[in-house]
Amino acid sequence: MPQPHSVSIIIPCRDDYKYLSSILSDLSNLSPLPEIIVSDASKDHGVVKKICKHHQIKLVQVEPPSRGQQLDKGAEKANSDILIFHHADTNFSQKHYDSLIQSFNTDSTIIGGAFLKDIKDLYPIFRLFSWFHKIYTMHIGTLYGDQSVFVLRSVFFEIGGFEGLPLMEDVNFSSKLRDYGNVRVLTPKIRSSKRKFARDGTLQRKLKNMWLIILYRLGVSPYKLAEMYYIEKSTSSRGGQFSLNSVGLEED
């Protein structure tokens, strides 16, 4: 009979107070209750501290801001045998939770994976190709950060985690995870906020992400790419608030 699995959910955050409060409310209602860790790099740590205290959530503060560092530091504080890296603006229900637990309980060869991305609202024109997206993602596609990547804790540290990378941390980790062993892409599909594409334009943002990934594949350093991205983002976001959660090259 399989041993029950314990789960830690790690949430990187920077200034996403509204989304953070909402997702913590949802996650706090999961059964059995997982360990929940917020890895924060907000300008105002006090706000996040109050939110986490209200929900009785473990908080890790990280400086300077770096998505890879936040994820790695959160994992170091986790005590469970399965780690889930989840974005604050992405939904996560009891059905997602049950699907993950059941998968590990029925297949002892699984080392990690992610959830299938719901792209119907984001890319309506591609609805007819959703079957291709599903097959591609399940077998060879990159597992992006907004797909709630999960992994056995032991495997996470064996393959070096996210290596503290400020950009491309999910692309790098996905490659290592697929090379290491049996990866599973689960349903139900997971959905994220469309705010970033609504702000930047769907096609423009998608092409920008693809270009950065191409540069990364060609050997450009993630640190150089992050510097380029931050400069561009800072220029285009003057007068507004910039959230690190918009830095990852997720599909949303």
Give backbone dihedrals phi and psi of 218, rounded to 5 degrees, phi first. -85, 0
What is d(CA 227, CA 230) in angstroms, rounded to the nearest whole number? 5
Cis peptide before 188 (omega within 30 of 0): yes
How far, in whole angstroms, is CA 17 from its chain's centroid?
Answer: 17
126-166 pLDDT per residue, tens: 666 677 778 888 999 999 999 999 999 999 999 999 999 99
**Based on the number of CB atoms within 10 Å of its own CB, is 149 exposed (0-12), middle (13-18) or buried (19 or more)?**
buried
Of residues 144, 115, 134, 12, the one with CA closest to residue 73: 12
13-36 pLDDT per residue, tens: 988 899 999 999 999 999 999 999
CA distances in angstroms from 184 to 10, 187, 209, listed in the order given:
19, 10, 24
Q: What is the pTM of this model?
A: 0.87
What is d(CA 157, CA 111) in angstroms, rounded to the nearest whole number? 12
pLDDT for position 207 = 78
Give the single-character DSSP code of 141.
Answer: S
161-213 pLDDT per residue, tens: 999 999 999 999 999 999 999 999 999 999 987 556 555 556 677 778 789 99
What is d(CA 177, CA 22) in angstroms, rounded to the nearest whole number? 30
**Based on the number of CB atoms within 10 Å of its own CB, is 231 exposed (0-12), middle (13-18) or buried (19 or more)?**
exposed
Mean pLDDT of 89-106: 97
Q: What kind of architecture, by CATH, is found in domain 7-190?
A: Alpha-Beta Complex (3.90)
Of residues 141, 118, 106, 138, the one with CA closest to residue 5: 106
Give backbone dihedrals phi and psi of 85, rounded to 5 degrees, phi first. -105, 110
Q: Please tell me the least confidently modeled range out of 77-81, 169-173, 179-183, 244-248.
A: 244-248
